[in-house]
Structure 1
Amino acid sequence: MSLSSSVYNELCLRKQLCDAVIKVDNAEFHVHKVILCNCSIYFRALFNRWSSPDNRLYEISSVSAAVMKLVIGFAYTNFVPVTHKNVQELFVTADRFNVMGIIEACSDFLEEQLTPHNCIGIWRFTDSYYYPEIKNKAFRFLLNHFEEVATTSEEFLLLSAQELCKIIESDQLIVKKEKTVFEAILRWVSGSTEERREHISLLLSKVRLALMPPEYIMKSVDDYEVIKSSEECQTLLYRATMLDIRTKDLSSSNVCCPLARPRLPAAVLFAIGGQSRTDGIEAYDVCANCWVKLTDNELTPRAYHGTAFLNGSVYCVGGFDNVEQLNTVQRLDLDTHTWQEVAPMHSIRCHVSITVLDGYIYAVGGHDGDNWLLTAERYKPRTNQWALIASMNTQRGDACCTTLHGKIYICGGFNGRECLSTAECYTPETNQWTMIACMGNRRGGIGVVTYAGYVFAAYNPDTDTWSDMPSMVQRRSNFGIAVIDDRLFVVGGFNGLSTTAGVESYNIGADHWSYVPDMKISCSALSCCVVYGLTNIAEYAAPRPSLEVSEVEGDKVI
């Protein structure tokens, strides 16, 4: 509170120099007109246009004395205590009086309280008031947590058919499997009266039915009476089984059908830089199963660098720009699409290993143009500073590191004489590196990532042992590696003869590798990271065809 605000508040509490009285029920509040006018255009109109200048008493109805006291207190102190008990009435009153500061405080409180069990209620509540920011945040939360909302929230069963349509037709609805949406509709229909059955065909037309296994679709016709009794529903399901799109991407004409339109992904895999790549970034859209070229001439050409995603930004660290080894760092703000050069590292680091832990970016080892390094440092974005940490036990570059259970693991690499099978881990609390069990093979240009509780290439930290896993389909070094959609992806690299655009993924449940669509450009010495939690994820995903709402006509889906 400023000094002037403190003085005005003291005068108000002592009822000194007040020129108006606000009466609510039996309570009277002595106030200064100019203070309330500064807080709200409602009070400005009340004092100047809706009453005579000499009027002193103003009776206000349809608001409690307790909430009016909070509104007046905010006018004097610019602070309001928001609680579970008062937030709804306070929001409604602030909206009525157009007190934007209180609306913002209530919105911030509601955002912090969002859960899968109350997000629908908050979304519906804010639908009655024009403050789109909190309404949009509640809706995005609902879309991002739909699986839990649909299966556990009592509010879900209270949705209207129109509200449910708006949710399930959104490209931004996040579900691992489309049958989650299908089963949510059936839960909603079965949870109420007969009239909801009338909406089943409309709701099913919003589901990406062709993304569901055909055998599951056909079984559903027999298992659910509400579907069996509807000719329109059966037509939709039959049409979906005829669309063979499960191995196709957005280039397929079938995907232009509303029943097959892929939803937007929750996360996107970035492949950045590398040899043979001069214009920046490619992004893999896991839902559309295709790569998108994100041309960006502001990115310094880099190979043998590292990348990290942190706080909505991608950092490109160190590497080689085809002329010299680098200690520079560039940050891409994914919200604004702008690049900025941030603080450089203490050391030049080409062939560097990068990872993120507890809000820090760690840069480990590498080559400075003369020597292979055992030093390491970490970057704190809030202060834009790098600080040295303990050095490793072994010089290594062309290695790879990852985090697991609060520790950093670095494996393999090259020390200037030979490729390494050694590995070590770093504990931030003790600032100490510790040697762990050696890998079964020497590996330079290795890719290492945390996946399903293991350090993959593949190491079990609980037993300090390495174990074999199925070999990749294609041999490669200096490739990108990341985990997305519960699968491990390896991207590009050098296959012993040339660079490759090839990509493959590993599913630990199936225990095998499978091909993924190639990148658009062959390259090695690239770096990968996964970006997520973006409100503008559509700007980095594959373009979705612009479609009209689907309709059912006879035996056709338009």
Structure 2
Amino acid sequence: MAAAQQLGGRRVWVRHQIELLQRISRQREEDKYTDFTLKSKGKEFRVHRNVLAACSPYFDTLFQTNMMEQQSGMATLNFTSAEVMEELLAYMYSGSLRIQEDMVEELLKTADHLLMAEVKELCIQYLLEQLDVSNCLAMKALAQVYKADHLLKAANETIRKNVHAVIKREETLDIPLQSVQELLADDLLQVAKEEELFGYLVSWTKRDLPERKDHFPSLFSNIRLTDIPKRYLEEYVKTEQLVTESEECQKYIAKQTSTSEEESSGQLNARSGKMEEVVMVTGGVSRSPGNEEGTTEMLCYLPRKDTWCQLCPLNYAVTFNAIAALNGKVYVAGGRLWPENRVTSFVSCYSVVENSWTRVRNMSAKRANFALVPCNGCLYAIGGKSERIFLGGSIGEVPVTTVERYYEANHTWSYIPSMTKVCSDVEAVATSDHIYLTFGKDQNGTNIAGNGHLPYYNVKTNVWSKVSATCPISMSRGADDENQIMVSFLRDNKIHFLGLVDGDSTTDGFYQYYDIAADQWTAVTIDWPVFSPGVILPQNISLYTPVHNGNIFICCTLDNDNIGVNSEKTYYRGHMLTLKDKFLDLERTYTTTGVSSVRPAPTSSGCHLDIPQKHLRAFAKDVTMSMPLL
């Protein structure tokens, strides 16, 4: 009692639990007081009944019954390996568990059989940490077998968000029928192109045609035909042999494409998770007759519908900012605040789910005219112009060499190695682990990548280097007597450049690309499509976006007097061109923002991503005004 009073009446254990486990573990090693034997795949383990019963309800029940194992003092566990049993016994006697990739599934299976809930939960947590696109289907199957709700939910979310990548994996062609049925029937799949699911279904069926052919019609009924472009439906779906040979498929097509009210009522609606391909545009100067002002609007271009809409605006006006998409969110960083024209380090994040902006951690440096590039799960702010206070107190802008990286998980910016030269007006493209600068001006206004020796940063080695090969056509921007870069983009592991040749003809253009793997440049001469007689759009590029779903979108801003409209008005108009996959031709669309108060402008910035249609329907405000072009 005196000792308890000295300790304030508290109960203390010192190291009793740890020491007790250590002593019991040594007793097992020395085979002292052991009273039971476990056998697994030919190996015997001498153990204590009370330890087994305390750690596993399975053994606790076994020792309370008059079963053969209880009488013989021995149990054979044929459902697990000796290695896994050794790990579980180590956990029972020490509280320490070693989980490895090559044994986690069997460990989970055994823990489930022995009703060891804590071990099962540890295995599930390990699997959650390993979950990615490459194993999400297998993880889902495990979660369903062992009723792991958290793992099942996470696996489903991974499949839904990455279905495009999942169905392109070779092993997905070998998943069982039930898994294919669940995949195609999932209403929350964030699929941008329904025809990709049809293509996958055909490939899965033909993988083992004799066994799978009879299942094709029922699986085909999960394809939302009303979401498939008419041309694809006519040329590929209706002509597919698996479809033409099935009366059930023919009836399904007729029902889904029927225009009659009675028939169309049975159609499957668009998936709730269906993704809409969009181009996000924000910031810049909005120009109208006799007036220019900074804009806070967030514009959204929908290529499939060739329309513009407006989402939640920023809470500050900014120009010469940068924008990038990362993990389904949109980040706007830096730029010059309007009307102060002061360079800022602000960073704001747009949630497509809530249609709202949140200020996140500022960049370490103030930047304008810089590149914001997503790569390997992070954002990189590269170069640009920053503010500097000169002698006498005047404030000016100077190009910089600094580069910083943003970690989304903890919202922090940190500097990484700087470039070897100052660089502003930066443009860049990224592979999985490299960032290539495709344009940038040094202190003399010269393009640092003009001769094709593109500077690039290796995110794994943390080192800057330069491409060694020289491009056939030197590139610049801003002078009439040089080859003018219009856009640069990454596709098929090649960096492509489009532009005008020498400025001596408004219809002559160049196309050249750098093959990263081969370290080689190739050039091709092409003709640009004209907007109207004598007018060519590439001279008036405002912004463009990286390749997405096979397309690149280019926003060209033209004054009215350039297109034959009332010359007293000088509204900017956002004409979008689409560079289709595997084609050099630009397909011009006819949508403009008309005389709306919202206009893409030469100082805007844009990025490309997919947004669930349900969010666009809930938040988007239509600002489209189409007009015939002369």
Instruction: Identify whether the pair has TM-score above 0.5, normalized to the shorter chain.
Output: yes
1:174-213 equivalence runs, <5 A: 174=191, 178=195, 181=198, 184-185=201-202, 187-188=204-205, 191=208, 197=214, 200-210=216-226, 211=228, 213=230
Residue 379 (structure 1) aligns with = 404
1:191-270 equivalence runs, <5 A: 191=208, 197=214, 200-210=216-226, 211=228, 213=230, 217=234, 224=241, 227-230=244-247, 232-239=248-255, 257-258=267-268, 264-265=274-275, 269-270=279-280
Residue 549 (structure 2) aligns with = 485
Work out whether 1:502 is the aligned partner of 2:575: yes
What residue identity is the alignment partner of 1:425?
Answer: L
Change (3 A) 1:509 1:410: closer
What residue identity is the alignment partner of 1:10?
Answer: Q
2:324 and 2:373 in contact (8 A); partners too: yes
Work out whether 1:155 is the aligned partner of 2:174: yes
Change (3 A) 1:332 1:421: closer
Work out whether 1:143 is the aligned partner of 2:168: no
**RMSD of the TM alignment (CA)?**
5.1
1:129-528 equivalence runs, <5 A: 129-139=146-156, 140-141=158-159, 143-148=163-168, 153=172, 155-156=174-175, 158-160=176-178, 163-170=179-186, 171-172=188-189, 174=191, 178=195, 181=198, 184-185=201-202, 187-188=204-205, 191=208, 197=214, 200-210=216-226, 211=228, 213=230, 217=234, 224=241, 227-230=244-247, 232-239=248-255, 257-258=267-268, 264-265=274-275, 269-276=279-286, 281-283=298-300, 293-295=310-312, 300-310=316-326, 314-322=330-338, 323-332=340-349, 339-346=358-365, 348-356=366-374, 359=378, 361-366=380-385, 368=387, 371=396, 373-382=398-407, 384-387=413-416, 389-392=418-421, 396-397=424-425, 399-403=426-430, 406=434, 408-411=436-439, 423=450, 425-428=454-457, 431=464, 438-439=474-475, 442=478, 448-452=488-492, 453-457=494-498, 458-461=511-514, 462=519, 470=528, 473=531, 474=537, 476-491=540-555, 493=557, 495=559, 497-515=570-588, 521-524=598-601, 525-528=603-606
Deviations 1:491-541 (A, max 9, x none): 465657333343321125232222456679422222223457xxxx63885
Task: State the aligned residue count.
Answer: 506
Report the CA distance between 1:361 and its aligned residue: 0.8
What residue identity is the alignment partner of 1:301?
Answer: A
Report the CA distance between 1:362 and its aligned residue: 3.3
What residue identity is the alignment partner of 1:482?
Answer: P
Report the CA distance between 1:488 and its aligned residue: 1.0
2:402 and 2:417 in contact (8 A); partners too: yes
More displaced, 178-187 or 163-172?
178-187
Report the CA distance between 1:439 and its aligned residue: 1.8
Report the CA distance between 1:482 and its aligned residue: 2.3
Report the CA distance between 1:77 and its aligned residue: 3.8
Larger Rg: 1 or 2? 2
Q: Distance in 2 between matches of 1:212 and 1:22?
A: 68
Q: Provide TM-score, normalisation by structure 1.
A: 0.70
Report the CA distance between 1:181 and its aligned residue: 1.8
What residue identity is the alignment partner of 2:606?
Answer: C
Change (3 A) 1:446 1:339: farther
1:499 and 1:522 in contact (8 A); partners too: yes
2:485 and 2:497 in contact (8 A); partners too: no
Secondary structure at the aligned position of 2:540 is classed as coil
Deviations 1:314-370 (A, max 9, x none): 443210221242331425285986734324333x32223333456561322336385
Deviations 1:140-168 (A, max 9, x none): 4483445335x655633x313xx433311
More displaced, 119-128 or 406-415?
406-415
Gap regions ≥5 residues in structure 2: 1-14, 287-293, 389-394, 499-510, 532-536, 563-569, 619-630
What residue identity is the alignment partner of 1:401?
Answer: A
Residue 501 (structure 2) aligns with = none
Q: Distance in 2 between matches of 1:100 and 1:290?
A: 54
Change (3 A) 1:173 1:308: closer
Change (3 A) 1:340 1:32: farther
1:22 and 1:30 in contact (8 A); partners too: yes
More displaced, 126-135 or 64-73?
64-73
Secondary structure at the aligned position of 1:381 is classed as strand
Gap regions ≥5 residues in structure 1: 244-253, 545-558
Q: Distance in 2 between matches of 1:134 and 1:372?
A: 51
Deviations 1:223-271 (A, max 9, x none): 63774451x422332455667xxxxxxxxxx999537669733976433
Q: Distance in 2 between matches of 1:296 and 1:317?
A: 14
What residue identity is the alignment partner of 2:421?
Answer: M
Residue 9 (structure 2) aligns with = none
1:494 and 1:500 in contact (8 A); partners too: yes
Q: Distance in 2 between matches of 1:335 and 1:287?
A: 19
1:351 and 1:367 in contact (8 A); partners too: no
1:308 and 1:355 in contact (8 A); partners too: yes
Report the CA distance between 1:485 and its aligned residue: 0.8
1:329 and 1:344 in contact (8 A); partners too: yes
Secondary structure at the aligned position of 1:484 is classed as coil
Q: Distance in 2 between matches of 1:31 and 1:384?
A: 55
